[in-house]
Amino acid sequence: MSRSLNIALLGNPNTGKTSVFNRLTGLTQKVGNYPGITVEKKEGICKLNRTTKAHLIDLPGTYSLNASSMDESVVIELLLNKNSKDFPDVAVVVADVENLKRNLLLFTQVKDLGIPTLLVINMADQMKRKGITLDLKLLEKRLDTKIALVSTRENQGLDQLKALLLNYRKLSTKPTIDLSTIDKPYFENLKVTFPNQQLYKLWLVITQDVNFAKIDRKRVSDATNFKTQSESELKRLQQKETVKRYQFINEILKEGLLIDRDSATDLRSRLDRILIHKFWGYIIFFLILMTVFQSIFDWSSIPQDFIDTSFAALSEYAKTNLPEGVFTSLLAEGIIPGLGGIIIFIPQIAFLFFFISILEETGYMSRVVFLMDRGLRRFGLSGKSVIPLISGTACAIPAVMATRNIENWKERLITILVTPFTTCSARLPVYAILIALVIPQGSFLGLNYQGLMLMFLYLVGFGMALISAWILSKTLKINSKSYFVVEMPNYKLPLLKNVGITVWEKTRTFVTEAGKIILAISILLWVMASYGPGKDFSEAESIVTELYSDLEGEALSNKINAYQLEHSYIGILGKAIEPAISPLGYDWKIGIALISSFAAREVFVGTLATIYSVESDAEETIKNRMASEVRANGQPLFNLASGISLMLFYAFAMQCMSTLAIVKKETNSWKWPMVQLFGMSLLAYIVAFSTYQILA
């Protein structure tokens, strides 16, 4: 008979907790949010033996159970709520062998909750090089637990960890310290008042309101009213608790941990002197970015061309081999081109996530955060704002959610408002197709023109984020003062399995989420493009034949399709907004793409692919259809002026309703998302208008 157990994976940031999670679960994992809050929930399945499987939850990184952010509060809420379906049968605390003292603080707190708790000491492969020796038997005895010494890089120790998890019921749940010795009268009174509750659990329930407001306290009835001490006194007791825990940890590590400092290398300090240098650090970061964007274009061109021609051939095959009718037209002119318009960009998106994952895995991203903090403060941002701004290159939604680590409200609000300027992966399909259309092939000093243009768009978005932050810092009348602290993890070679899982998960999420929207919009657009009111639509064939009596065959057919599209429902809508967008260099078809891409920016390409498929030969590729579009004067629709105008419009406009929704949720007000929507859209219009008028 098979059984299942819940396992909570906890640890400080940068301990390799996610690497342990990836080793145990592989691709059997999924990412979502905790109910009602915008905190990422990562869970997966691991088979411990033939009859037992484990449900693993990778909890947000936390330094202790004294919460100061929403991430940390999620950890505490789960550990306090025995009624939760995710409440762990066993907790696994992952520690870094080089920072064992600090990591053990969290271990002692979790164990004192009465939950069976295992200690995993990660990065065992570093011990010899760093001159570290552990007395595991002594540590197990003094900590009253079992320890798994693992190396996720070498794939060592995981079988031992699985065996320990299978025998989790044998783990001791005795507390590590006697909490009542901190203040005997207070804690004795607490035990008398709540005789059937664990002391440390009561203490956490009482103190979390001091650390982090608005946490639901339904775990222990009336415990939050048990504040016989002032808030400052509770804080003082917390500090005494932390001191007592570190005294306990120090006594153990005096005997159980030996570090030979002479054998440790100073490679990290030598690299840091270069990578976070006040001049060379920026140069190196700039060169890394340039390499990334060059690679995105150069490496992805072959698979992109294959995908493009494959979808064109599939569309033509459907038209030729399926019976004529509404369903065939919908499939060949709506669904296939629409999906092709997003799948073609999978290679570029995968490469983007590949490089971001490598930068994070090596520990370099934390150096970038530290490096950029020097300049960000003059713009009114916190050093912690760099994390959302960099995360925004993947997607603005988790980037806005990442601002919850910024304690100061003014800095957090400014970061939320300017993060959507950062070029996200949803803009990448728009940029990629437009750059391919209007920026010529060629290179300067060995640098691809198209890659340089992509990098310029990323830099322009980041630059506008900084300018906007500076303006907001001067105009928002919110008093604030904050300090920036960031941990510098050790440098390490990226674990290829982690990189692969990240690329797979992020790309799959991008495609499935965008695919749902694109499929729905493609069907809607096809319906709107295939039907229309009045005789201009229904009698298009006779009208065009009379107007162009000298045409026949394919030329006449294309004229009929174009005339019919212009008088369809979608054509009428596009014509209505054309006067407003024509000064920007756009026609009514681009106008339709602008409107539909408010659902998701990447829908822009799929929309144009659907529209052009309705009026043209299905065997043409998306790029060829867009390149062949001409204005009334015979000039190409997508030229340098209109192309750059359109790219800058997307660089600055708030073309994402999902981001607006998440901003509303994070700020708890519609005021700020509306400021974003109208402010960014007005800026985008002015910049696009000026650009087209200058370049045209």
| 364 band by pLDDT with thresholds 50, 70 and 90 | confident
**For 313-327, how does the pLDDT look when each residue is reduced to its tens digit (9 = 90+)?**
888 888 888 888 878
Contacts 24+ apart (CB under 8 A), 35-41: 37/70, 37/74, 38/401, 38/404, 38/662, 38/665, 38/666, 39/70, 39/71, 39/74, 39/401, 39/404, 40/398, 40/401
Of 176-180, 377-381, 551-555, least confident by mean pLDDT is 551-555
Using an 8 Å Cβ cutoff, are 380 and 413 in contact?
no
In this prediction, residue 685 carries a pLDDT of 94
| 683 band by pLDDT with thresholds 50, 70 and 90 | very high
In this prediction, residue 645 carries a pLDDT of 93
Whether the predicted pLDDT of 5 surpasses 80: yes
pTM exceeding the 0.85 threshold for the entire prediction: no
In this prediction, residue 464 carries a pLDDT of 93
Q: Which helix (H) or strand (E) holds 302?
A: helix 280-321
**For 531-547, how does the pLDDT look when each residue is reduced to its tens digit (9 = 90+)?**
888 888 888 888 878 87
Integer Cα distance of 470 and 464 in angstroms: 10
**For 179-233, how does the pLDDT look when each residue is reduced to its tens digit (9 = 90+)?**
888 888 888 888 777 777 788 888 888 877 534 333 344 444 444 445 445 667 7
In this prediction, residue 229 carries a pLDDT of 53
Set out the domains of the chain in order of their start, with CATH numbers: 1-265 (3.40.50.300), 280-475 (no CATH), 516-695 (no CATH)
Integer Cα distance of 118 and 171 in angstroms: 8
In this prediction, residue 209 carries a pLDDT of 54
In this prediction, residue 38 carries a pLDDT of 38
**For 428-458, how does the pLDDT look when each residue is reduced to its tens digit (9 = 90+)?**
778 888 888 888 887 777 778 888 888 889 8
**What's the rounded mean pLDDT across residues 656-677?**
81
Of 139 and 616, the structure prediction assigns the larger pLDDT to 139
